[in-house]
Amino acid sequence: MAANEPLLPLLERVAELLRGAERIACLTGAGVSAESGVPTFRGVGGLWEGRRPETLATPEAFASDPEEVWRFYLWRRRLLLACKPNPGHCALARLERQKPGFTLITQNVDGLHLQAGSRRVLAVHGDIWIDRCTRCGREARSTGEDLETIPRCGACGALARPGVVWFGEMLPTDVWTQAERAAASCDVMLVVGTSSLVYPAASLADVARAGGATIAEINPEATPVTSQADVAISSPSGQALPAIVDGLGTS
């Protein structure tokens, strides 16, 4: 808690906002899993440091070299097996239990929010543990037992692909519709651990603001949302979120 001391008034302000809110939407990005040991995408030490993600995470990259793309995703699955939810994920799971009008929207494909106990998670960029057949579309969840072999469809034998959303692909319609609705109707939106560079997810903060919501951002670095936010907390989410949720019970 000592590390949070200079931020206490801001943390209390967010707790106060959440206390008075009926509907809360929270958008998370890779930063919320950083303290679990999951690399972020951009920036120093990120998965894409020094590379152009638009040329890697695309259906075109998969079509031209599926083995190379699968090597990257199988490596990430192996890495995830060693990661567990951090106090930030756990605080959001607690917030869901305390606030019935809470909606969690995540860009993360790592499944850590569900592992932390969040029950309703709108995963707008899919799920890294899903294998989707490139021919018949059948989906299967990887057991994580064989993370060396490129997955093939159990029904038709064709090559599978990871069940994530690449650049140029549509987000899952039903999930996206629910995310937009939650953003448009919330009283408070928390924007946590995302660079807010990738659309349409990054537009959710604008949607929320246009609907009259108060925006609170938690991110150690400035983003395009920071200057628009009503409250910006420059701190790792694994420290700020538990402090905020702990403070909810007090007045």
Residues catalogued as catalytic? 125
Lay out the site mask for ligand BJW across 136-175 (x = CB under 6 A, - = otherwise). Answer: ----------------------------xxxxxxx-----
Minimal distance, residue 50 CB to Zn ion, in Å: 36
What sections of the chain are H helices per DSSP?
8-20, 31-34, 59-64, 66-81, 87-98, 112-116, 173-185, 204-210, 237-248
**Is there binding between residue 130 and Zn ion (CB under 5 A)?**
no
- What's the token pair of residue 232? 């910006």
**Is there binding between residue 111 and ligand BJW (CB under 6 A)?**
no
Degrees to nearest 5, angle at CA 110 with 104 and 114 = 45
Instruction: Count other C-beta atoms under 10 Å from residue 250's C-beta.
Output: 8
Q: What is the spatial distance between Cα 200 and Cα 206, in angstroms, rounded to a whole number?
A: 10
The number of CA neighbours under 13 Å toward the Cβ of 34 is 24
Task: Report the partner that residue 230 touches, choosing among Zn ion, ligand BJW, none (CB closer than 5 to 8 A by kind).
Answer: none
Lay out the site mask for ligand BJW across 59-98 (x = CB under 6 A, - = otherwise). Answer: ----------------------------------------
CA 64, distance to chain mean position in Å, is 28
Near ligand BJW in 192-221, by CB under 6 A: 193-195, 197-200, 219-221
> Which residues, in sequence order, are bridge partners of residue 192?
28, 218
Which spans of this chain sit near ligand BJW (rule: CB under 6 A)? 29-31, 34-35, 40-42, 46, 53, 57, 107, 109, 125, 164-170, 193-195, 197-200, 219-221, 223, 236-238
Residues at the contact surface with Zn ion, assessed by CB under 5 A = 133, 135-136, 138, 153, 155-156, 158
